[in-house]
Structure 1
């Protein structure tokens, strides 16, 4: 998570005596979202991209994202008029909905500014969850502790807000991951099963690659037409992909979404997540039964796979 640097300050080497180089910082957040949702928003690259920037004046560009033990995340924090800040995060331990541990190295202009060990502990019950983040910081430049406090506090506020408007659907499908992925990321088969029970798809354009899109209409059983436009971000074969949902072709953004695929004893655990653009859209979606309709869609995927 990128720290906040004060405008106009260029990081400098800290004193050699170590007097202000080390700090342990603790952040706590109570979140009005289920534990499974909070974990997904903390770990899923598409969700992390939603809440990573500490303020609207900061742009975070992700160069690499691989949330698994041994994987790493590399991003650039960009502020107009200031040098880019590079953040490298390496995942050391991931215990779903329990704990994560990662290292973090911050640099600018090729010079390391700080290194940290970040431990996140998760707990919760029903529709509420709690996150406690401990940062053991080794600061190699001026004002890094203050920057870390500001950056983490703002980022975790963003995280809580994002989690509270996120929907996560999961289903274990009794088929190998390659088969499930192939049914989803194939332009011939995706339109055959996508959508809730009784819905059909009418495709205008489809290109299921990084930078691609799917422009289509979903048609309800009563004939009502719902225009959709999916814009695809990073696609990692048989692992995950991220995409943006628009209301119709080039329409307003509806949600940032992702799907991930995990082996589970010969079956495939599919996770479909959506961070809605606003809390109002999230509540509206829940109100018209988006959870049930989404689970129906995953059920259609399973039936399609088994029928093949």
Structure 2
């Protein structure tokens, strides 16, 4: 007997036992502000981390354009099984409030399901409540049980990712092309990168997808901090995605992204980091990473203002 899941969370048998439709609901309370949870929910770099429902599943995001009318295409891979293709299309994006997207699942050219996914965000006392409704149509087989298991595991992952995510934002009074040009330029990036009083000493720099930046940050007291950035995504004047390593080819301590949004001639810059562990996130907060990161964005603002 096929079951559907109503909006109240209870299971109901379809009258004929064969209904392909189901409505699934999920709720999570997460100890982060809604603005942080929103970034973890929508930013491709973060989604690539939490989307896999289990360690046996690898999720490769092939294409992502997080705007109304944009889409995300990913492949879910399990060894020994055919790849599952997922296409998401963003229909509504109201930051820290609501998103709506369609989702179509296919495998070897056959469409398995289509769904409408609505996510609503509420915040109280620094905690966020996330309510997700999935209106599902199973086209080739009953997908309700798989959706319930997969979404449930993914949202558990999302909660863990959000709680080790750091978000820095700043509105810079300069056009997006100017801000992007200062960031993604091998000559200018080292001139402003880093907190107040820090300088950069570059070994190699190649600011392309597949490129890298190997450099030392040198503190005001002369302390040297080796860094290695590995760039995996570069969308001109839109966003970059990269990994942060402790020194050249050292251990990864965070996945990061920078997004650039036009605000009537000004530019909103969002710098996000998902730390590899909760302990590294707490350590970063403890040594003032938020304040130091804001200093870095302040140096960027002063740099572009002076040009």
When the two structures are superposed, what TM-score results if normalisation uses the length of structure 1? 0.93
The answer on 1:204 being equivalent to 2:206 is no
**What does residue range 223-302 of structure 1 map to in structure 2 within 5 Å?**
223-302=222-301
Which residue does 1:102 correspond to in 2? 101
The answer on 1:33 being equivalent to 2:47 is no
When the two structures are superposed, what TM-score results if normalisation uses the length of structure 2? 0.94
Number of aligned pairs?
292
Which residue does 1:73 correspond to in 2? 72
Cα 1:217/1:126, change in 2 over 3 Å: farther
Higher RCO, Cα 8 Å, sep 6+: 1
Which residue does 1:10 correspond to in 2? none
CA separation in 1, counterparts of 2:60 and 2:167? 24
Deviations 1:11-56 (A, max 9, x none): xxxxxx7823100000000011111100001011111111111000
CA separation in 2, counterparts of 1:193 and 1:125? 37
CA separation in 1, counterparts of 2:224 and 2:61? 35
- The range that moved more, 135-144 or 225-234, is 135-144
Could you list the runs of 4 or more consecutive aligned residues of structure 1 that deviate by over 2 angstroms after TM superposition? Answer: 17-20
CA separation in 1, counterparts of 2:219 and 2:31? 32
SS at match of 1:192: helix
Which residue does 1:153 correspond to in 2? 152
The answer on 1:307 being equivalent to 2:297 is no
**What does residue range 173-192 of structure 1 map to in structure 2 within 5 Å?**
173-192=172-191
Structure 1, unaligned runs of 5 or more: 1-16
* 1:141 to partner: Cα distance: 2.9
**C-alpha RMSD of the superposition:** 0.9
CA separation in 1, counterparts of 2:114 and 2:30? 28
Which residue does 2:9 correspond to in 1? none
The answer on 1:111 being equivalent to 2:110 is yes
CA separation in 2, counterparts of 1:36 and 1:123? 10
CA separation in 2, counterparts of 1:128 and 1:226? 34
CA separation in 1, counterparts of 2:197 and 2:210? 30
CA separation in 1, counterparts of 2:196 and 2:38? 29
CA separation in 1, counterparts of 2:69 and 2:226? 40
SS at match of 1:20: coil
Which residue does 1:92 correspond to in 2? 91
